[in-house]
Amino acid sequence: MELNEAIKNRRSIRKFSNQSIDNSLIEKIIEAGHWAPSHCNTQAWRFIVVKNEQIKKEMVAAGGAPTIKYAPMGILVLYEDVSENLEYQDYIQSAAAAIQNMLLTAHSLGLGGCWICHLPPKKTLRKIFSIPKNFNPIAYVLLGYPVQPPAPAPRKLKTLELISYNQFNFNFKKTAQAKIKIKRFFKKIYYFLPNSVKKLIFPLINKFLIKKFTN
Ligand SMILES: Cc1cc2nc3c(=O)[nH]c(=O)nc-3n(C[C@H](O)[C@H](O)[C@H](O)COP(=O)(O)O)c2cc1C
């Protein structure tokens, strides 16, 4: 698939068929992640392939996005704690570069993927996957065969509206900070809720997400 076509036609996929994915394709996807740029060329990522239903259920029960359960598999992306530049969180940027490579490759192979950071607290993920302290969970990538081809997503702004030269010179409407702070507050509370309570509000969250993100 031509690169520009892959970039423009890739969409987040959250509904998958039951068809399982061949290990050779999973390896191709991870290899694409491994060829991403990384800060100081550290290449300190690791990829945990998750196919086990029980583990997926545990992730959801501990506060992960309900979609994790419905995807045939996922890949948990980790990065070793080797950052010298916490100001710019370079290890997250390196992992993010790998994840985008993976999503584009999955798309080019006829698979669908979705970047997920609605995950249980890192402490819980460390327990579930026995992750040592010197590795950080960064994000999870859902993978599977899409049930329907995704429709293209229009861009909110024109490319020229995103460019200014030499100085910050943009027309923009400031995002209401109060709204963001409220959302952050509820997110924090959500993470601290016991799993039994999280289970009660899952159906609501699921309904909201499906409505918001239906492809
Ligand atoms: C850093 C990051 C975190 C994301 N986390 C989630 C998530 O937790 N759950 C989810 O359903 N989608 C998640 N997404 C996917 C976005 O919702 C999606 O990319 C966005 O709605 C644009 O849609 P598109 O990918 O189809 O263009 C995430 C994307 C990024 C880049």
**pLDDT tens profile 126-184:** 999 999 999 999 999 999 999 988 888 999 999 999 999 999 999 888 888 888 888 88
Burial classification of residue 4, based on how many CB atoms lie within 10 Å of its CB (0-12 exposed, 13-18 middle, 19 or more buried):
exposed
Q: Grade residue 188 by pLDDT with cuts at 50, 70 and 90.
A: confident
Average pLDDT for 65-94: 96
Q: What is the C-alpha to C-alpha distance for residues 125 and 58, in angstroms, rounded to an integer?
A: 9
Please work out whether the CB of residue 153 comes within 6 Å of at least one atom of ligand 1: yes
Query: Does the pLDDT value for residue 215 go beyond 50?
Result: no
CATH code of the domain in which 163 resides: 3.40.109.10
Tokens for 154, please give them: 């229009």
pTM of the entire predicted model: 0.91
117 lines ligand 1 (CB under 6 A): yes
pLDDT tens for 108-121 read 999 999 999 999 99
At residue 197, the pLDDT reads: 81
Closest CA to 88 of 99, 77, 96, 76: 96
112 or 200, greater pLDDT: 112
Looking at the structure of the chain, the number of domains it has is 1
Interval between CA 166 and ligand 1 midpoint (Å)? 31
Q: CB of 110 within 8 A of CB of 19?
A: no
CB 56 within 8 A of CB 18: no
Structural domain containing residue 41? 3-213
As a whole number of angstroms, the longest Cα–Cα distance in the chain is 53
Whether residue 114 has its Cβ less than 6 Å from ligand 1: yes
74 forms beta bridges with: 50, 142
pLDDT for 143 = 98
Q: 11, 75, 114: which to mutate for ligand 1, most atoms within 8 A of CB?
A: 114
CA distance 19 to 42: 35
pLDDT at 15: 94
Tell the residue nearest (CA) to atom 29 of ligand 1: 115
Pocket test for ligand 1, best of 16, 76, 102, 117 (most atoms within 8 A of CB): 117
Residue 194 has pLDDT above 90, yes or no: no
Distances (CA, A) of 9 to 25, 106, 112, 192, 196: 20, 12, 11, 37, 39
